[in-house]
Amino acid sequence: MLELTERHTHGPSNGESHDVLCLPYADRIKGRLRTRTEGGREAGLFIERGQVLNDGDWLRARTGEWIQVRAADEPVVTARIGTGLPLARLAYHLGNRHVTLEVGEDGSGSWIRFQPDHVLEDLAIRLGASLRHHQAPFNPEPGAYQGQGRHGAGHAHHHSHEHDRHDPIH
C-alpha cells in the first residue's frame, strides 16, 4: 500500500506526478483514509488531521513518490443571483447556516455552490436565486480562521490580541 504522509501545495520541481488521487470533498477533509489512486494503486492517507486537501495539492509518499490531488465531480447545487446586494444577501443567509460554500464567478456572473440540501435550496429560491443541480468539483471556501486554504496562507487566531478582550471601550 502506498502510504501518503505529507501534504504540499507545490509538487516536485519537474512537476511530474507519479499518480493522481481523485476525491470528493467529504474524503478531502479526512486525515486518515484508505483509497485507490487513478492508476489503481491501493493508498492510505496519513496526514495531520484538520487539513483540507485542495484540488491541485500534492501528497508525498513515504517512498518519495508524488501524487497529485484532484477534486472529484460530485452532486452540487449552483445558485445564481444578481450581483451586489442580492448576492451579498444570499451569501449571508446561506453562510449563516454554517454550511460549507464555494463562491465563484465565470462568464455568466457570480455564483454560490453548495451540496444538495432542500432547506438551503428553498432559501436560495425564496431569495431570488436560480438553481442548477449538476455534477462538479466542490471546493468550498476555507473558514475565516483556518490556516491554509485554496487561496493561500491564512492567519490562525491561536494567540491573544487586544481585540480578544471583552472591554466595550475598545
What is the C-alpha to C-alpha distance for residues 113 and 102, in angstroms, rounded to an integer? 5
Q: What is the mean pLDDT of residues 90-95?
A: 96
Q: What is the mean pLDDT of residues 73-90?
A: 96
In the chain, % of residues over pLDDT 70? 84
Q: With 90 as the cut, is the pLDDT of residue 126 above it?
A: yes
142 domain-assigned = no
Domain boundary among 18, 43, 71: 71
Check residue 101 and give its pLDDT: 97
Q: With 60 as the cut, is the pLDDT of residue 150 above it?
A: no
Q: Longest Cα pair distance anywhere in the chain, in angstroms? A: 61
- Where residue 162 falls among pLDDT bands split at 50, 70, 90? very low
Note whether 57 and 82 are same-domain residues: no
Note whether 66 and 84 are same-domain residues: no
Domain boundary among 22, 41, 71: 71
How many residues make up the chain in this entry?
170
Maximum mean pLDDT: which of 5-14, 118-127, 134-143: 118-127
Predicted TM-score (pTM) of this structure? 0.79
156 domain-assigned = no
160 domain-assigned = no
Q: With 80 as the cut, is the pLDDT of residue 160 above it?
A: no
What is the C-alpha to C-alpha distance for residues 120 and 78, in angstroms, rounded to an integer? 11
Which domain covers residue 117, as residue numbers? 73-137
DSSP class of 159: S
Structural domain count, the chain: 2
